[in-house]
Each structure stands twice: as structure tokens, then as C-alpha cells.
A and B are shown apart, each in its own frame.
Chain A
Amino acid sequence: MARRASIARHPRTGISSGAGDRVVKLLAYGFLSLLSLLAVLPCLHVISKAVSAGNLVTAGLIYFWPRGIQFNTVEFVLTQTPFFTALKNSLIITGLGTAISLFTTITTAYPLSKPSFKGRRLVVLLYVVSMVFFGGIIPAYMVIRTLGLIDSVWACILPFTIVQFNMFIMKTYFESLPESVEESAKIDGAGDVRTLAAIVLPMSKPVVATIGLLYAITYWNNYFHVMMYTNSPGMRTMQLYLYDIINNGQAFAENLFSGWDTQGNAISPHVTVNGIVAAAVTMSLVPIIAAYPFIQRYMIQGITVGSVKG
């Protein structure tokens, strides 16, 4: 039916609709393939550089596929740079931060989602005000410093304890849940805490997963606050570590030139400055690409949830 209709001629113009359809289709495949290549090729290039033979990397002969595969560069990055310290810090901040943020966001959104909740307008106003007016990065820094949180995990978590947008998405979702279910829980004698934990949250798994993922990505990718609030090398996260490697890659050059690493082991000739940067970037990409199926599933859902509001 649809097929037949699509090749019909326009009653007035007489233009074959088939031609127009073909142009759209061609444009769709052409334009999107181009964009998709633009997105994928740079990633492939970096990954290829990370695992290709050193002389080919230096000569600029690696494009979008590895040649002369070796893992000495990756090994060098893992053992000779503070990769694992950074990974550990990032995992702690992301894990702890996401747990705290989810807890706080849920416990704030739930009371505010109840139409009968007294004081709701005032509290919502406080969150809106905090969202549209910002005290500034220097005043915030002074607060963190006064609290003695510089160089602590807490300084990296505090800024994102509640991201107001996330809280409002959560609140909207809770509001959309049928009231009757909660009413019946009330009649059964369940208090607010039990209703939230046993009835509301199990019904809200998708939105909790989405918001949790949003927080996790925020914590994992955060560069500015960690840089601002920490000084010691032991507190570096993946983003700070990576930034250092990219900007100070040349610092490795001397080390490499000597041919010996800090433990007195010979460095493989495959290890090059460009290779090190590429390997560090690649190792930072891996967790995100590994988590991507999960991200894809919940993020698209999340955007749809978010756009329901209004």
C-alpha cells in the first residue's frame, strides 16, 4: 500500500514523487555516513596509533587502522605513568559521588512531587534560584577552602550533589506515577519512607538508571572542579592525568631517549611520545565505550523522559 502510494504522481504538479523520495534517501545516506565517518575516524586514528609499531607512528604512516601491532606503548602507559592512581581516584569519585547524588536527588524529588506537600513552592523556588544565579567560582572556592575540603574527594563530589535539572526530571517522573498505588500503600499502613523505597522506586527504575548514568558521566568527565579543588599528585583523576600527558608528552622524550625506564628496564623502541599520548587517550576511551550499550539504552530513554515535562 505504502509502496504503491510512494510512486504515485502528485495530482497537481505531476512531478513523480519517486524522484523526490530518492533525493531525500540519497541525502540521508550520504550526509549521515559522512558525519558518522567524521565521528568514528578520529577515534580509530588514536586507537590505531596506540597499538601500532613505533617507527610507523613517528613517520606518520598510521591512519585509521593499526599496522605492526604492539602493546609495549600501552604497557609503558600502565606501568610508567600514574595511570592506576588516576583510575582509582576516578572510580572512587564516580562511585561514591553517583551514590550520594542519587540518594539526595531522590529524597529531594519525592516530597516535592507530592501536590499536597506544604512548603513545596518555596523549596522548588530555592532550587530554581540556585540554578539561575551562581555565586561565582572564586566564592565557591573560598567555601571549599574554609571547610578544609581542598585535596579531598568531598570537594570533587559536593558541586554535583544535586544537579537541579536532574532533580526536576526525577520530580516530574514521580508526579507522573499513578497516585492510586501510593494511596493503597498508605491504607496498608506504609509510611512515606517505606512507600518510597518499596513502591515508588521499583516503579521508577528507568529514570533512576538514567539519572544515575548522567551523574556518573558528570563525575567521570569532570575536569574543572577537580583541577580547582585538588593540588596533590595523589588526587589526580583520569581527566587531569590525561591532560598532563597530552601537554607534557615531551617530558617523556628525554626518558625515552635514554632507553631506560625508572626501574632500570629497557624501554621498547616501539614506545614513542606520540604513541604514549595516543595510548593514554585510548585507555581513557575504553571505559566509556565499554559502558556504551548501557548508556545508549538509558540515555535515549532519559531524553524522552526529560522532554515529557512541560
Chain B
Amino acid sequence: MASSAFQPLLRTAGRTAGRKVRGFLLYVVRNPALYLMLLPGLFFLLVYKFAPLYGILMAFKDYDIFAGKNPIDAIGLSPWVGLKHFEKLFASPQFLKVLTNTLVINGLKIAVLFPIPIVCAILLNEIRNRFFRRFLQTSIYIPYFFSWVIVFGIFYALLGSYGIVNDGLKALGLGTVRFFTDTHVFRGVLVFTEGWKEIGYSTVIYLAAITGIDTTLYEAARVDGANKPRQILHITMPGLLPTIVLMLILKVGYILDTGFEQVLVFYNPAVYDVSDIIQTYVYRLGMGQMNFSLSTALGLFNSVVAFVLIVGANTVSKKLLHRSIW
């Protein structure tokens, strides 16, 4: 046999593999505690992260939740329909609308809000009065810890039809603005409240990055007669650049995954046209209309594109910054 020439080679390979397995088993036997420790986490992964992957089959079937003993059993027993749900989905005007809304809302948020925390961090770093600096930082940071429902409650009191802002507009003779139901302003409300809640958090990240800049650079610049604007331009900004790029990559990478809870809490049927995003539509299709298969198909589309974007973002980050996102 021709293969006999390879026999010794194969045997060596087999022996190495065998040794590897034996080495691994020996290690496990010697360190059982380390492996036992992993079990609670792996159990969680299996139940909540990997078991749902089986549920993706719903997208390729006409899922009937009562077809089996339980909802998961029913997945196996429901009839296959191939790509029917995807064809239906991609042909529906609703699909284009929610995709556009997702990109427009999250794109607006990046365009309008991204630079603000950078400016905040740089300016905060210039405030020498420690008490005042602490007060500023605290007050800007605190909304980050409020839930979206609380933020909604606060802005409802401000912007509702009897809210203080509309009282002011009326007093100025400008009439009232229906912030939560007017399709022309609702996206603005989403962008503004996103900024209100999140700017403090990003500011702290940039502040931490500024703290990492070598202080001798500033001293040298001062000796050379560079004033504050020049120091900011030539020392702080270059020092911040890797963090800025990383944050931008992350924001673009997660463009399909953000804003869900905010929109879910803030929106209502009057503004579905301008604010219904992929995930809120997935939710309503599934839990509202009980159209589980179509909903899963849209969810799968979202997951796949999000996966490509995030892995892409990580590749860019590794190339540009030699740093992995995870």
C-alpha cells in the first residue's frame, strides 16, 4: 500500500496527539477545582446563550408554538418552509423603514453627540478648583445611572403637553410642541435624551485617557511658551486620539445594537414611522402579533449583520490600534 510509507509519520502524529490528550487529562485530574469553577458560567452559557441558537430554526419554519410538548419541542415539529419568511420580510416596506430608522437614529446620535464628551473631558481637565471640578463631574455623570424609564419620566415632566418647556413656549407666544408625538421632533428627543444620559460616562473614559498622558510633556511645552490652546492641540489631542478612534469604532460597530430600551420606553404608535427600529419591530412582531417566525427571521438578519459589523470593528481596531475590543 502506498500509505505504508506514511505509517511511521502517522504513528508519531498519533503519539503526539495521544500525549497531548493525556497531558490535558493529567492537568484536569491535578486541578479539578479550576474546572469545577467553570461549571456555573458554562451552565449559563448553555442555557441562555447557546440554547436559543437552536430557536433560530423558527425563522426557516412555520412555527406553531403549540405543536409540541413545550415551545422548544414545537420548533422541531413545525414544518420547514425554507426562506419564505425572509422573502416576505425583504419585500415588505416595513423592513426598509425599520432599517432606515435604526441607521438614521443611531447615525444622528454619533454625528451630534460623539464630539461632546471629548470637549467635556479636555475642559474638565482645565478646571483647577477641585471642589467645583468634582461638582461638575458628578452632576454630568449621574444621569448615566438612571434607567431609561426614569429618564422618560423626567423628560415627560419637562416636555409633556403640560410640561414646563411648553408652558415657556406658550408664554413666548410660540404655541406648543408635541415632543412625544410629532414625527418631526421625536428623533431630536431621542438624540437629546441619549446625550443627557450618556455624555458623562464617555467623559470619564476620556478623562482617564488624559490622566494617562505624560505630564512632563506639558511642562516642556510650558517652558517652550506654548499656551493652553496649543497644549491641547499638540499634546492632549494626540494623546487622546487612540481612545477617540476606539470609541468611534465601537460606536459604529454597535450601531445595530444600541438604543433599543430607550426607543421601547419613549416611543408610541404616533411616532412609529420615524422611531421604530429593528429591535422594537422584532419585539412587536413576536410578542405583539405572535408572528414568531417572521420576528425570528428579522432578529437573525439583525444578529448576522451586527456580528459582521462587530467583528469588522474589532479587525479595524486590531489593525489601527493593535488592540482587541474584547
Contacts and interface: CB of A to CB of B under 8 A. Distances in A.
Interface of A: 2, 5-6, 8-11, 15, 17-21, 23-25, 27-29, 31-33, 35-36, 38-40, 42-43, 45-46, 49, 60, 63, 103-105, 107-108, 110-112, 114, 117-119, 123, 126-128, 130-143, 145-147, 158-159, 161-162, 164-165, 167-168, 191-193, 196, 217, 220-224, 228, 239, 242-243, 246, 274, 277-278, 280-281, 284-285, 288-289, 292, 295-296, 299-300, 303-304, 307, 310
Interface in B116-142: 119-120, 123-124, 126-127, 135-136, 138-142
B48 to A, nearest CB: 5
9 contacts: A15-B227, A119-B24, A132-B311, A139-B296, A158-B47, A223-B149, A281-B150, A284-B153, A295-B145
B282 A5 contact: no
B6 interface: no
Contact of B123 (A8, A27, A45, A112): A27
A192 B34 contact: yes
Given A2-B222, A36-B135, A138-B299, A193 B150 contact: no
A139 B53 contact: yes
Interface in B144-203: 145-150, 152-158, 162, 164, 167, 196, 199-200
User: Mostly helix, strand, loop or mixed at chain A's interface?
Assistant: helix
A137 B303 CA distance: 10
10 closest Cβ pairs, A-B complex: A139-B55, A17-B227, A135-B52, A136-B299, A108-B41, A221-B147, A281-B153, A139-B52, A20-B227, A130-B49
Given A138-B282, A140-B55, A39 B139 contact: yes
Q: How large is the interface on B (under 10, 10 to 19, 20 to 34, 35 or more residues)?
A: 35 or more
Given A108-B40, A118-B28, A158-B47, A33 B286 contact: no
B104 interface: no
A243 B55 contact: no
Interface stretch (B68-76, B95-103, B107-115): B68-76
Contacts of B71: 142, 145-146
Given A118-B28, A147-B47, A158-B47, A42 B141 contact: no
Name the residue among B136, B149, B225 with the largest chain A CB count within 10 angstroms. B149
Contacts of B31: 117, 192
B47 A193 contact: no
A49 B310 CA distance: 44
A303 B211 CA distance: 12
Nearest to B293: A138
A143 B48 contact: yes
Contacts of B47: 143, 147, 158
Given A60-B167, A108-B40, A139-B299, 18 more contacts: A2-B222, A10-B227, A32-B124, A60-B164, A107-B38, A127-B41, A130-B45, A137-B283, A137-B286, A139-B58, A146-B71, A162-B44, A164-B326, A221-B148, A285-B146, A288-B150, A299-B204, A303-B205
B232 interface: yes
A41 B241 CA distance: 33
B40 A103 contact: yes
B230 interface: yes
B60 interface: no
Contacts of B89: none
A143 B51 contact: yes
A104 B303 contact: no
Interface stretch (B11-19, B257-265, B269-277): B257-265
B148 A135 contact: no
Contacts of A11: 224-225
Interface string B270-313: 00000000010011001100001001100110110011001100
A123 B152 contact: no
A110 B326 CA distance: 17
A243 B261 CA distance: 12
Nearest to B257: A134
A46 B153 contact: yes
A32 B48 CA distance: 43
